[in-house]
A = this chain, B = another copy of it.
Amino acid sequence: MGEVVNPAVKLGILGCASIARKVSRAILLAGAGVELYAIASRSLEKAQEFAKANGFPSSAKVYGSYDELLDDDAVDAVYVPLPTGLHLEWVLKAAAKGKHILLEKPLSLNNEDLDKMVDACESKGLQLMDGTMWMHHPRTERMHKDLQALGDIKEVRSTFSFPAQILFPGFLKNNIRVKAGLDELGALGDIGWYCIRAILWALDYRLPDLVTALPNATINGSGVITACSARMVWIKKNRQDEQDEQEEDETTVATFSCSFHAFMTMHVTVQGTTGALACDDFVIPFSDARAAYRVLSNAGFADMDLTWRLESRDVVVDNEVPQEAAMVREFARIVSGIKRGGGAVERGWHDKAKKTQAVLCAVRDSIAAGYKTISLS
A337 CB to nearest B CB, Å: 29
Decide if B243 touches A221 in the complex (CB within 8 Å): yes
Chain B residues lying within 8 Å of A166, measured Cβ to Cβ, are: 273-274
Contact segment of A69-77, A114-122, A155-163, A341-349: A155-163
Q: Which of B231, B243, B307, B310 contacts A215 (CB 8 A)?
A: B231
Decide if A247 touches B165 in the complex (CB within 8 Å): yes
Decide if A155 touches B259 in the complex (CB within 8 Å): yes
Chain B residues lying within 8 Å of A222, measured Cβ to Cβ, are: 244
Does A356 sit within 8 A of B, measured CB to CB?
A: no
Q: Which of B150, B251, B309 contacts A218 (CB 8 A)?
A: B251
Specify how many copies of this chain sit in the oligomer. Answer: 2
With A214-B212, A231-B229, A307-B285 as given contacts, are A245 and B273 in contact (CB-CB < 8 Å)? no
Decide if B243 touches A220 in the complex (CB within 8 Å): yes
Decide if B214 touches A253 in the complex (CB within 8 Å): yes
Nearest-CB residue, chain B, relative to A209: B216
A149 CB to nearest B CB, Å: 11
With A165-B273, A243-B220 as given contacts, are A255 and B214 in contact (CB-CB < 8 Å)? yes
Decide if A229 touches B215 in the complex (CB within 8 Å): no
With A271-B161, A301-B167, A373-B371 as given contacts, are A259 and B154 in contact (CB-CB < 8 Å)? yes
Nearest-CB residue, chain B, relative to A299: B264
CA distance A36 to B186 in the complex (A): 60
Decide if A221 touches B249 in the complex (CB within 8 Å): no
With A167-B300, A299-B263 as given contacts, are A22 and B288 in contact (CB-CB < 8 Å)? no
CA distance A236 to B299 in the complex (A): 40
Does A28 sit within 8 A of B, measured CB to CB?
A: no
CA distance A332 to B294 in the complex (A): 42
CA distance A225 to B36 in the complex (A): 57
Q: How large is the interface on A (under 10, 10 to 19, 20 to 34, 35 or more residues)?
A: 35 or more
Chain B residues lying within 8 Å of A280, measured Cβ to Cβ, are: 310
Interface string of A343-374 (1 = CB under 8 A from B): 00000000000000000000000000001010
CA distance A301 to B260 in the complex (A): 14
Chain B residues lying within 8 Å of A266, measured Cβ to Cβ, are: 308
Chain B residues lying within 8 Å of A247, measured Cβ to Cβ, are: 165, 172-173
With A261-B154, A306-B288, A373-B215 as given contacts, are A246 and B272 in contact (CB-CB < 8 Å)? no
Binding site for B on A (CB under 8 A): 18-19, 21-22, 25, 150-151, 154-155, 157, 159, 161-163, 165-167, 172-173, 210, 212, 214-216, 218, 220-222, 226-227, 229, 231, 233, 235-236, 243-249, 251, 253, 255, 257, 259-266, 271-276, 280-281, 284-288, 296, 299-301, 304-310, 322, 371, 373
